[in-house]
Structure 1
């Protein structure tokens, strides 16, 4: 499968070849209901030859702030959804909560997704799309939101989910944003996280013995090649291509891997409002992996939330064990995340 950008490999590998089944019992009523708030207006903006399509959420009452909402990896649309995965609407649900606190927001379909589509790229040139381009597009969106609301770009809130957390920190390095939401974020260098995820799958028995041996043998060489040259080895095993380490993703991976989230976080101004989350039931990113990022944010006005029942998409699992079966299920929003976002938004 061809992926635009670097799809989080836990989603690719853990779900690959697995027969998915719904839990035997329905999820309990967790009270994790988000009430729709505000109204959406369609918006387009052009940058780098691409017309981006998005939605501006306007609060019902007075607007007292504005937030840019950024999705995770892969072909993610303005609501944080990907083809073939159940609708989580993590970003539109976030917009609902923010609007209830008088905070307007902008979310948009990234390259490859929704109404934006491939934009200026083609299937043959998509390998030229890199992480720097993704940050450039998010910066352009921040300026559009600032013009729309009259709130300066350095006073905007920027909230990013998963890979969007890295984009959020990259915007902060450019002086965009005065408060940040790092929602189940990428907490370490990108290729280190992908190495951990793929090696974990190999050790878990989800791959047959031959494929697991291939991963152990080939992955270090592929990562070294991407870091050094922005390309994958010409003779690498096709399995690595299937896992996302391919020519279409190599530039994106090299550019994103140059950024170290704890280093970026340490450079934020003192007392910057930050919301950071992790969850025990997140199969993509562990709370232990988030710990160095949390430590690097110690000088900020940090609200750290360690969830117990949310999955990576910030949906509610309740007592159900996390598994790859989460992806095709329509789950309610995480009650823990909803409460945490309300608390943070009310304090801004």
Structure 2
């Protein structure tokens, strides 16, 4: 009887499968987590920087947000494919030189992953779950819709995503700089937004405006999340925590205003890594390094309920 119970438990457990997606100059890698009888499948798109498929980063983030989200959705009957984006972790070899990277590459990869996830799960399409900068990647991935792989996207789940252009948010972050450095930074952003490189960025801002990263910034800065969302006609869920110290409720509201049909959910006391956290910065950031802290109550349940409802339609 005990061996039968163990066998049944094994059959009921979600199956984790390593996925390799052909790409140039090297393959991309991810993990497909499939519960028995999955009702839908989603691709989890990571945020900015060296964030891996589990939601961790060598820059001090070990919250395991994407792994926890995948496991929670599996419990709700939804399969997920979480990925190492181009140039990061197991997909490091697929990354081009910094000077050759463009935002469109991430969007194209998202479409390819959606098609792969749908095929693997035997579904007509896959949902895109974009977290932080991944939300903008998801929005860009469905822009235009002229790529056949765009039809493989069921809809969008935007979690802690910016609702305003990056230039607006960068200016907010740089407002504390003393003059004339602040003016120089703003002038550099204006040039990059116009598609022009900055030959001699201020020395104090060399890390932000280094020549090798400027082509990527030029491809990224003009993107307006609200405008991209207004042009999309698929189902959209917008989730935002009220104690997020990186992206604010104002951004979720801007996205919701762009798409009156979208579902907006504000999670009280939830931060950027989707965990229950205080508003004070030190206590908030402490959750970034705690993989044992679960996702905040309601986050996974709300996302799963939205996917199930719209998948049924």
TM-score, length-normalised on structure 1? 0.77
How far off its partner does 1:156 sit?
1.7
User: Helix, strand or coil for the counterpart of 2:92?
Assistant: coil
In structure 1, the partner of 2:6 is none
Paired with 1:109 and 1:191, the residues of 2 have a C-alpha distance of 26
| Aligned-CA RMSD value | 2.2
For the Cα contact (< 8 Å) 1:282–1:311, is it kept in 2?
yes
Distance 1:214-1:51 versus aligned 2 partners, 3 A rule: farther
Structure 2 residue corresponding to 1:183, chosen from 149, 159, 163: 159
Q: Mean Cα displacement is larger for which, 68-77 or 107-116?
A: 107-116
More helix by share: 2
Aligned residue number for residue 281 of structure 1? 243
Equivalent-residue separation in structure 1 for 2:221 and 2:181 (angstroms): 20
Structure 1 residue aligned with 2:289, among 323, 329, 338? 329
SS in 2 for 1:55: strand
Q: Residue 94 of structure 1 aligns to a residue in which SS?
A: helix
The reply on whether 1:266 has 2:242 as its aligned counterpart is: no
The question of whether the paired residues in 2 share the 8 Å contact of 1:191 and 1:253 is answered with no
Helix, strand or coil for the counterpart of 2:300? helix
Cα 1:296–1:89, aligned 2, differ >3 Å: closer, same or farther?
same
Q: Given that residues 315 and 332 in structure 1 are in contact (C-alpha distance below 8 angstroms), is that contact kept between their aligned partners in structure 2?
A: yes
2:45/2:130 contact within 8 Å kept? yes
For 2:23, the equivalent position in structure 1 comes to: 47
Q: What's 2:194 paired with?
A: 228
Q: 1:130 aligns with which of 73, 98, 102?
A: 102
Query: 1:296 offset after TM fit, Å?
Result: 1.1
Instruction: Give the deviation of 1:109 after TM superposition.
Output: 0.7
* 1:316 counterpart SS class: coil
Which has the bigger relative contact order, CA under 8 A and spacing at least 6?
1
Unaligned runs of 5+ in 1: 1-35, 203-210
Is the Cα–Cα contact under 8 Å of residues 197 and 284 in structure 1 kept in the other structure? Answer: no
Quickly say closer, same or farther: Cα 1:120–1:295, change in 2 above 3 A: closer
Structure 1 equivalent of residue 116 of structure 2: 144
CA distance 1:325–1:95, change in 2 (3 Å):
closer
Runs of 4+ in 1 over 3 A off after TM superposition: 322-329
CA shift, 1:51, in A, is 1.1
Instruction: Say whether 1:240 aligns with 2:205.
Output: yes
Decide whether the 8 Å contact of 2:163 with 2:225 is kept in 1.
yes
| Aligned counterpart, 1:344 | 306
In the TM superposition, residue 241 of structure 1 has moved relative to its aligned partner by 2.1
* TM-score normalised over the length of structure 2: 0.85
